[in-house]
């Protein structure tokens, strides 16, 4: 199967036989897991004992061979097997006097290069991009442009050629997609970098949710550590939502909306997001009608809705209708000092998270436990997945109303349900959105000053990056608070915020400052993000987004299907953009 190789073990040793165990390199402080018993050799027939096992190819493995009696370790091998490879492990005696044993790993059939489909897909998309760029350059030639004018509608063609990608005629709305306008006195233009940032994160999220070609690096990390693509996507969505809140609230208040009217819109939008998450996105209606018995309560839209409610209400309480220069002692901090009560509130929230995480007593678990449970930590705490975060969810929500298949289940073999969008982690998603809110305030207070905006993005990126380095000690497992997407640890928030500030800086420079990039094609799904997200979830199992494969164990087929489905949603969002159709909540 995908991500597996065949290992044939040949035992030339006499009785009593061998035990073969393995431990994945991605499994921190894990117990060895028994793979097979290898019978002893048949000396009369001079035939070795054999056993065949499937081994994982996603991460390096440590193989341990020991005697089935006495538990004597004979050899330990570290090796990264290749997908669909065929291997033999020959165990034999080197010297009968010293009883020394050799374990030789032989490659019978080499593995395949499972990454070639990614290279091919990259070349295809680069070819499409090259064709589009060439077409754009051709349209700058007068005879070609005039010929196109004659064949197509001149007005529509002019819009296509210029690729202005202008915003629709927005109404005063508190919704965060599309993002609010910037502050040109001549026209109400959008900051296209915000839509591009959101759309880029959303497109990758759709691709990953559809399967990511079944590649392991497009899956969530089992627990602590490396930041795969999926680990950063939701956090960026939360970050840019906070940025949009700052711009939208200021815009609405400047256009005369009362705070009570804005608050009603905040409450309504939060309610709708949470409701959509519970009754539309979470249930699998292919398995039957909606039932409360096993309905998952937390979820992506639920967390977005609640985070939006808290951060938007907090900003509404302290925002000002005018964004003029602050007349204080430190004008360089005009986007921070006037809002000191907000910072106190966020610090109190973070203190609550720290106290609950490290001080709350959890039955049968060590206080402050942050591990995955299962076979992790040498199997000492098998039912402690997530520590206080998992305990609070099980206590308040009930096990049946949580996510039943956490990412720790495969590598760490944890059996307890754990919800990555649970209650305790929502505190830090609020902190993440608040840091995004700070990015919005920077663009608001330093409008028409791109150098000031970019320099502050760099400063905030450095600050959050330094905090992450201190919390993690620049290590995967040995820090004070490891980076963990399942827990939404504070180090995860600061690390993702660091990346978000730098990425937003880059996109802002390319799209809004230099205008070297229009933001396409990510701009289009970014302006219809709620529709694309809900749509890709609801229609995930329907043609043309999914079809029956000829070889379900082929990365190439999965990658083709997932890229096709993702591209279709980009095309749909482009068509909706051209028709000026935007779904607002």
Pairing of β 18-24 and β 33-38: antiparallel
**What gap in Å lies between CA 279 and CA 296, rounded to an integer?**
9
526: closest CA among 195, 244, 235, 241?
Answer: 195
- Asked if residues 525 and 573 have their Cβ atoms less than 8 Å apart, the reply is yes
- Asked if residues 177 and 576 have their Cβ atoms less than 8 Å apart, the reply is no
Same domain, 279 and 396: yes
- The sheet that has 100-109: what strands, in order across it? 49-56, 4-11, 86-95, 100-109
Same domain, 101 and 198: no
Confirm whether 475 is domain-assigned.
yes
Q: What is the pLDDT of residue 323?
A: 53
Same domain, 103 and 198: no
Same domain, 98 and 219: no
Domain that holds residue 396: 192-284+295-318+336-579
Confirm whether 99 is domain-assigned.
yes
Same domain, 88 and 197: no
Q: What is the mean pLDDT of the chain?
A: 86
Same domain, 100 and 197: no
Could you say which of 58, 77, 109 is where a domain stops? Answer: 109
Q: What is the pLDDT of residue 146?
A: 80
Mean pLDDT, residues 147-168? 52
Residue 285 CA to chain centroid, in angstroms? 25
Q: Please identify every residue annotated as catalytic.
A: 220
* High-pLDDT (> 90) share of the chain, %: 59
Q: Where are the alpha helices (DSSP H) in 255-386?
A: 259-276, 300-318, 340-359
Domain count within the chain: 2
Q: What is the pLDDT of residue 217?
A: 86
Residues with Cβ within 8 Å of residue 456, at least 6 apart in sequence: 335, 442, 446
Confirm whether 132 is domain-assigned.
no
Question: Is the pLDDT reported for residue 255 higher than 90?
Answer: no
- Asked if residues 43 and 73 have their Cβ atoms less than 8 Å apart, the reply is no
Same domain, 65 and 204: no
**What gap in Å lies between CA 458 and CA 498, rounded to an integer?**
9
Same domain, 444 and 549: yes
Confirm whether 515 is domain-assigned.
yes
Same domain, 201 and 54: no
Give whichever of 118-127, 130-139, 216-225 has the largest mean pLDDT.
118-127
Better-scored residue on pLDDT, 3 or 184: 3
Confirm whether 155 is domain-assigned.
no
Give the chain's length: 585
The domain that contains 70 carries what CATH number? 2.60.40
Q: What is the pLDDT of residues 185-206, one digit of tens each?
A: 333 467 899 999 999 999 999 9
Same domain, 198 and 103: no
Q: What is the pLDDT of residues 418-452, one digit of tens each?
A: 999 999 999 999 999 999 999 999 998 888 889 99
Could you say which of 109, 126, 150 is where a domain stops? Answer: 109
Mean pLDDT, residues 129-133? 90
Confirm whether 446 is domain-assigned.
yes
Q: What is the pLDDT of residue 188?
A: 47
**What gap in Å lies between CA 524 and CA 239, rounded to an integer?**
19
Confirm whether 173 is domain-assigned.
no
* Burial class of residue 451, CB neighbours in 10 A (0-12, 13-18, 19+): exposed
Tokens of 105: 């790993």
Mark 520-550 as b/e (b = at least 16 C-beta within 10 Å).
Answer: bbbbbbbbbbbbbbbbbbeeeeeeebbeeee
Same domain, 196 and 90: no
**What gap in Å lies between CA 184 and CA 186, rounded to an integer?**
5
Q: What is the pLDDT of residue 178?
A: 40
Q: What is the pLDDT of residues 538-575, one digit of tens each?
A: 899 899 999 999 988 999 999 999 999 999 999 999 99
Could you say which of 109, 126, 154 is where a domain stops? Answer: 109
Confirm whether 152 is domain-assigned.
no
Same domain, 207 and 104: no
């Amino acid at each position: 199967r995908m991500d597996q190789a065949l290992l044939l073990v040949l035992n030339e040793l006499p009785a009593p036989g061998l035990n073969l165990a393995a431990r994945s390199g991605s499994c921190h402080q894990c117990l060895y897991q028994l793979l097979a018993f290898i019978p002893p050799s048949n000396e009369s027939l001079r035939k070795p004992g054999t056993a065949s096992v499937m081994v994982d190819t996603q991460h390096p493995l440590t193989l341990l061979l020991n005697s089935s009696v006495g538990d004597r370790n004979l050899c330990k091998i570290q090796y990264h097997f290749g997908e669909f490879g065929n291997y033999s492990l020959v165990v034999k005696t080197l010297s009968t006097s010293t009883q020394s044993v050799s374990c030789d790993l032989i490659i019978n059939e080499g593995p395949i290069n499972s990454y070639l489909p990614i290279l091919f897909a990259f070349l295809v998309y680069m070819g499409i991009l090259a064709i589009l760029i060439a077409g754009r350059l051709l349209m700058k030639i007068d005879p070609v442009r005039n010929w196109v004018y004659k064949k197509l509608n001149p007005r529509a063609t002019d819009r296509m050629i210029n690729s202005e990608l202008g915003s629709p005629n927005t109404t005063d709305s508190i919704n965060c997609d599309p993002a609010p306008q910037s502050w040109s006195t001549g026209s109400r233009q959008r900051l296209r970098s915000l839509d591009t940032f959101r759309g880029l994160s959303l497109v990758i999220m759709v691709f990953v949710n559809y399967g990511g070609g079944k590649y392991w690096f497009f899956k969530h990390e089992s627990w602590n550590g490396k930041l795969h693509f999926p680990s950063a996507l939701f956090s960026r969505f939360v970050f840019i939502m906070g940025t949009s809140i700052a711009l939208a609230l200021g815009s609405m208040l400047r256009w005369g909306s009362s705070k009570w009217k804005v608050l009603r819109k905040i409450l309504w939008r939060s309610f709708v997001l949470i409701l959509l998450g519970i009754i539309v996105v979470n249930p699998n209606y292919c398995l039957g009608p909606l039932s409360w018995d096993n309905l998952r309560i937390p979820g992506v839209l639920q967390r977005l809705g609640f985070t939006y409610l808290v951060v938007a209400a907090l900003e509404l309480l302290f925002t000002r209708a005018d964004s003029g220069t602050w007349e204080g002692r430190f004008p360089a901090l005009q986007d921070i000092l006037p809002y000191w009560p907000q910072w106190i509130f966020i610090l109190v929230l973070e203190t609550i998270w720290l106290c609950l995480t490290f001080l709350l007593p959890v039955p049968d678990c060590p206080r402050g436990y942050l591990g995955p449970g299962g076979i992790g930590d040498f199997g000492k705490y098998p039912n402690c997945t997530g520590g206080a975060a998992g305990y609070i969810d099980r206590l308040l929500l009930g096990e049946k109303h949580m996510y039943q298949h956490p990412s720790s289940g495969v590598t760490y073999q944890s059996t307890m349900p754990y919800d990555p969008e649970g209650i305790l982690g929502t505190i830090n998603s609020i902190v993440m959105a608040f840091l995004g809110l700070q990015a919005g305030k920077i663009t608001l207070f330093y409008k028409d000053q791109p150098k000031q905006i970019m320099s502050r993005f760099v400063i905030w990126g450095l600050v959050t990056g330094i905090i992450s380095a201190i919390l993690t000690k620049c290590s995967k497992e040995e820090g004070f608070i490891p980076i963990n997407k399942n827990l939404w640890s504070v180090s995860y928030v600061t690390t993702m915020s660091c990346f978000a500030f730098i990425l937003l800086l880059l996109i802002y420079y390319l799209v809004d400052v230099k205008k070297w990039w229009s933001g396409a094609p990510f701009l289009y799904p970014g302006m219809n993000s709620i529709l694309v997200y809900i749509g890709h979830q609801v229609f995930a199992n329907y043609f043309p987004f999914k079809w029956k494969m000829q070889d379900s164990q082929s990365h190439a087929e999965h990658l083709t299907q997932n890229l096709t489905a993702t591209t279709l949603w980009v095309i749909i969002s482009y068509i909706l953009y051209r028709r000026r159709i935007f779904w607002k909540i």
